[in-house]
Structures are given as structure tokens and as C-alpha cells.
Amino acid sequence: MPTVKRDTYTPDSLLSVAVRVFNERGYDGTSMEHLSQAAGISKSSIYHHVRGKEELLRRGISRALDELFAVLEEPRAREGRAVERLEHVTRRTVEVLLAELPYVTLLLRVRGNTETEIWAMSRRREFDQRVAELVKQAAADGDLRADVDARLATRLLFGMINSIAEWYRPERAGHPGAADGTTPEAGGTGTSSAEVAEAVVRTAFAGLRTG
């Protein structure tokens, strides 16, 4: 009798494929047929795991948001002077972006065309607002320049961080989770995720700190 090929996909592995396709084609430009072809399984097999592509979108975005909001609950994000907490949140946000690059990229590209995207944008604003409060407190403490508007400083900070998703291209052997922890720069040398995070902190706070 012929052997029936069993569906070896798990919810996590299917999600990984879906997020990659969403990032390549755009969520609106991705159909269930596209996902089926990319995964190499039938559409009915996909429906065995999820109700549809919007559930996959929500799961992918939730993974990014959960990691980002977890940063705000870390001890170094909750204790100490506001400027030190802000630096910690900045560094860790970059590290999360690098470690969860496909998922954070998906989060950054939502445009509010579906209920899930509207929810995601609301959560992103909540995260930004909590960081903005740290900026305001650090300025009130005298640790950040008073002549730079806190809201503007927050937008510039996130603009720098979010841009990493557009140029950071880890090689298979140089992914942050790999043994060497390196990724190629434009010049061809390797830079670890920790070094990227430290560069963002130094660059941003060199212009924001009062001393």
C-alpha cells in the first residue's frame, strides 16, 4: 500500500514560514495558496493548525510584542535612575529586534488594514509611550538635554532602532543565535548583535545626555 506523507509541520515552524512570506510579499499580497506553496503542504493542512492567515499574522506580531514588553519588566528597566533605565531599554530593544528580526520586521510593517493590524499599532503606541515617559523623567532629572523635546527624542530614538530592520541581513552562519554571533556589515566584517546594540546606545545618548 502507498505510504501517506504525514504533515510534519508544527505551529511554530508553520509560523516561521508564514512570517517569511508576509515579509517578502506583504500581508495583503499573501494568499493561503502562497503559504501552502512555501510550506510545501496543502491548505487543508494549514487549516489544521490555524483558522486562517490573519491568525498567523497575529501570532507573529504577538511574538514580537511579547518580547518587547518583557523588556520593560526587567529589573534594570524598572530600578535606578530614569536615564539608566532608558539606556537599558534601548539596548535590549535592539537585541530583541536582532534576535527576533522576522517577527519585529513584520510588526514594523503593519499598516492598520485589518483588525489585527489596528491592535498591533495600538500596542506599538503603548510601548512607545512607556519609553517616552522614561525620556521625560530622565530630562526632568537633569540627565538628558532640556532643549530637546522628549517626544521628538523618542521618535528619533525609535527611528534609529527601527531602521536596523531594513539593513540588518544576517548570514545563515552569522545569525545572532549562531556560535560566532556575527553578521556582515556593509564593509564585509562581522558585527555581533551586542555590538550593534552598544553602537545605538552610544550614538543616541552621546547627543542626549547632559554629561
The 3-class secondary structure across the chain, one letter per residue, is: CCCCCCCCCCHHHHHHHHHHHHHHHCCCCCCHHHHHHHHCCCHHHHHHHCCCHHHHHHHHHHHHHHHHHHHHCCHHHHCCCHHHHHHHHHHHHHHHHHHCHHHHHHHHCCCCCCHHHHHHHHHHHHHHHHHHHHHHHHHHCCCECCCCCHHHHHHHHHHHHHHHHHHCCCCHHHCCCCCCCEEECCCCCEEEHHHHHHHHHHHHHHHHECC
3: confidence class by pLDDT, cuts 50, 70, 90:
very low
What are the tens digits of pLDDT across the range 52-98?
999 999 999 999 999 999 999 999 999 999 999 999 999 999 999 99
What are the tens digits of pLDDT across the range 30-48?
999 999 999 999 999 999 8
Question: Does 201 have pLDDT greater than 80?
Answer: yes
Residue with cell 512607545: 128
- State the Cα–Cα distance between residues 193 and 179, nearest whole angstrom: 12
**pTM of the predicted model, to two decimals?**
0.85
**Averaged over 105-111, what is the pLDDT?**
95
